[in-house]
Amino acid sequence: MLKIFKYSLYDLARSKWIYLYTFFYLLAGFALLYLNNDMMSGLTNLLNISLLVCPLISIIFGIMYFYNSREFTELLLAQPINRNSILLGQYFGLSISLSLGYFIGTSIPFVLYGLFISDIIFDFILLLVTSVALTFVFTGFAFFLSLLNENKIRGFGLAIFIWLFLAFIYDGIILLSLFLFSQYPMEIYSIAVTLLNPIDLARILIMLKLDVTAMMGYTGAVFNKFFGSSLGMVMALFSLIIWVLIPILLSIRIGNRKDF
């Protein structure tokens, strides 16, 4: 697995898309800090961008990478190499490449603006951790969809749908259900449905740390009310870790049974 991981990492290091991804966050970081002239406001706005862009780029780039490297994967499968090693090597190579691009692109602007002498350094670290976790989650989704669908168009379509559903449609469905059944106690329901969306979990995790109640939304406020900041953060972080494992474990299961 280590050799395949190194090869994937080296191959992706030559990809222009990784550099464009890094440059996007580099430009966004400088722009947000310059326009807001405040590191906390810049961090909050960067959070809103990261929660949408990280999952989108991870799942789209993951789909592209897997389909484009399919012939190489089949060549590796013809060798006496464990399937899990091949899949995990490619998965970690892609996830870590995207995570490094995000880390470099977001860190440079904040470091130059005095991150290490500010009081938001731990908030910034939490943003990095949650965004990297989302990168791993949606890269896992990309591998899962690629293994599940031979047809590239169907794979891309499902990837876009999953991103749209978790980023936008899911919250709309929750709000509609809360409105329709507002006469019933919905607190437990709100927490349960929040745990089923990794993007919402990442948002609430950071909002609990920032203690920005107005930006948490109803589900975030309920999370804070039931568990408090510390316990709520631990539960959200643990649930996010579970989400990191789910897609790649499903991918391994399908990959071991798939006839290439």
Kindly state the average pLDDT of the residues 2-7.
82
Closest C-alpha to 178, from 191, 197, 196, 166: 191
Say if CB 222 and CB 54 are below 8 A apart: no
**Digit-coded pLDDT (tens) for 226-250:** 655 677 778 888 899 999 999 999 9
What pLDDT, on a 0 to 100 scale, did the predictor assign at position 175?
Answer: 81
Helices (H), the chain: 2-13, 16-36, 39-68, 70-77, 83-112, 121-148, 152-164, 170-180, 187-195, 198-210, 213-257
Could you tell me the residue range of the domain that residue 71 belongs to?
Answer: 2-257
- The answer, yes or no, to whether residue 218 has pLDDT greater than 70, is no
**Digit-coded pLDDT (tens) for 50-109:** 999 999 999 999 999 999 888 888 788 778 778 888 899 999 999 999 999 999 999 999
What pLDDT, on a 0 to 100 scale, did the predictor assign at position 223?
Answer: 66
- Give first-to-last CA distance, the chain, whole Å: 19
Distance CA 22, CA 97 (A): 10
- For residues 225, 230, 232 and 236, what is the CA-based torsion angle, rounded to 10 degrees? 160
What pLDDT, on a 0 to 100 scale, did the predictor assign at position 194?
Answer: 83
Closest C-alpha to 243, from 128, 140, 174, 102: 140
Distance CA 127, CA 217 (A): 18
* Averaged pLDDT of the chain: 86
Distance CA 1, CA 211 (A): 41
**Digit-coded pLDDT (tens) for 172-212:** 888 888 788 878 777 788 888 888 999 988 888 887 777 65
Confidence band for 145, pLDDT divided at 50, 70 and 90: very high
Distance CA 113, CA 119 (A): 12
Q: b or e along 97-110 (b: 16 or more beta carbons within 10 Å of the residue's beta carbon)?
A: bbbbbbbebbbbbb
Distance CA 164, CA 197 (A): 12
The pTM of the full predicted model, rounded to 2 decimals, is: 0.92
Say if CB 206 and CB 47 are below 8 A apart: yes
3-state secondary structure 150-203: CCHHHHHHHHHHHHHHHHHHHHHHHHHHHHHCCCCCCHHHHHHHHHCCHHHHHH
**Digit-coded pLDDT (tens) for 114-128:** 888 888 898 899 999
Number of domains forming the structure of the chain: 1
